[in-house]
């Protein structure tokens, strides 16, 4: 079984690069990062600058374990104390800053496609206020001209499971029940349009994530190689 990653992999890797003599391979494996990411941090070529996080202070490593790794480049660092998952138990759903501008579009989609869902449920699902929901419903929102109805799952505001659960609860409360379609003997059951759409959206999201990850790794690797060639050319 693979050991867990540090709570903040990039920040931990940055600290290990600056404060230890561990190899890039050891740091990359412990932090579950690509070795080129660690190399970029060491060469100050990383696109983002991370404030180092001391894994010894957090208990994820100790000085003896680091010493073993420094003495043997082939040694694999062992997590001393698994990081504790941080979870929010109270308060509104947290939405990353980059996603907050998409909330009105997601609210509009829910209001349009699932009017049975209450304002309280929408607020919990997307992490918004009843005033915002009401403003979009009666089209008094300050930016109503630019709001477009978009699936909140596709926007990353909630998961498909959370949306389906909210729809099911609202339908049950409203007394709405879906009738089973009658399938003739020997005929192929007709798939629900919603199921087909959900599968298509999931496939698109998975493809987009894979493409984004591959592009980021390729760009970072190319930048590192160019910097290395430039350094070698300068030395020559």
Quickly state the pLDDT bin for 215 (edges 50, 70, 90): confident
Domain contains 121:
yes
Domain contains 77:
no
Co-location of 104 and 162 in the same domain: yes
What average pLDDT score do residues 214-222 get?
Answer: 75
Domain contains 218:
no
DSSP annotation string for 159-177: -HHHHHHHHHHHHHHHT--
Domain contains 36:
yes
Q: Are 77 and 22 in contact (CB under 8 A)?
A: yes
Co-location of 116 and 162 in the same domain: yes
Write out pLDDT tens, residues 116-135: 899 999 988 888 888 999 99
The fraction of the chain above a pLDDT of 70, given in percent, is 80
Co-location of 101 and 157 in the same domain: yes
Domain contains 23:
yes
Q: How far apart are the C-alpha atoms of 198 and 195, rounded to whole Å?
A: 5
Co-location of 41 and 110 in the same domain: no
What average pLDDT score do residues 104-118 get?
Answer: 92
SS3 content of the chain, % helix, strand, coil (to 5): 55, 0, 45
The fraction of the chain above a pLDDT of 90, given in percent, is 31
Point out the domain boundary residue: 174, 194, 218.
174
Split into its structural domains, the chain has a count of: 2
What average pLDDT score do residues 5-21 get?
Answer: 90
Point out the domain boundary residue: 174, 195, 227.
174
Full residue range of the structural domain in which residue 47 is found: 9-71
Domain contains 60:
yes
Q: How far apart are the C-alpha atoms of 117 and 50, rounded to whole Å?
A: 42
Minimum mean pLDDT range among 8-12, 38-42, 164-168, 212-216 = 212-216
What average pLDDT score do residues 134-146 get?
Answer: 91
Sign of CA dihedral 32, 34, 37, 43: positive
Domain contains 13:
yes
């Amino acid at each position: 079984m693979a050991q867990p990653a540090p709570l903040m992999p990039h920040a931990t890797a940055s600290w290990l690069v600056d404060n230890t003599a561990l190899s890039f391979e050891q740091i990359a494996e412990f932090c579950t990062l690509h070795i080129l990411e660690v190399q970029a941090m060491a060469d100050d070529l990383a696109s983002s600058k991370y404030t180092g996080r001391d894994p010894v202070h957090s208990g994820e490593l100790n000085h003896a374990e680091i010493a073993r790794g420094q003495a043997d480049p082939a040694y694999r660092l062992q997590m001393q104390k698994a990081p504790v998952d941080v979870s929010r138990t109270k308060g509104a759903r947290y939405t990353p800053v980059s996603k907050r501008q998409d909330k009105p579009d997601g609210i509009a989609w829910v209001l349009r496609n699932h009017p049975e869902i209450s304002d309280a449920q929408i607020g919990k699902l997307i992490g918004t206020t009843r005033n915002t929901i009401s403003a979009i419903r009666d089209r008094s929102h300050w930016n109503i001209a630019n709001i477009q109805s978009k699936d909140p799952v596709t926007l990353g505001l909630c998961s498909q499971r959370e949306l389906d659960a909210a729809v099911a609860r609202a339908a049950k409360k409203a007394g709405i029940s879906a009738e089973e379609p009658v399938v003739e003997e020997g005929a192929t059951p007709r798939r629900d349009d919603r199921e087909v759409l959900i599968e298509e959206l999931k496939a698109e999201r998975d493809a987009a994530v894979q493409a984004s990850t591959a592009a980021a790794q390729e760009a970072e690797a190319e930048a590192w190689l160019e910097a290395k060639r430039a350094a070698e050319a300068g030395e020559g």
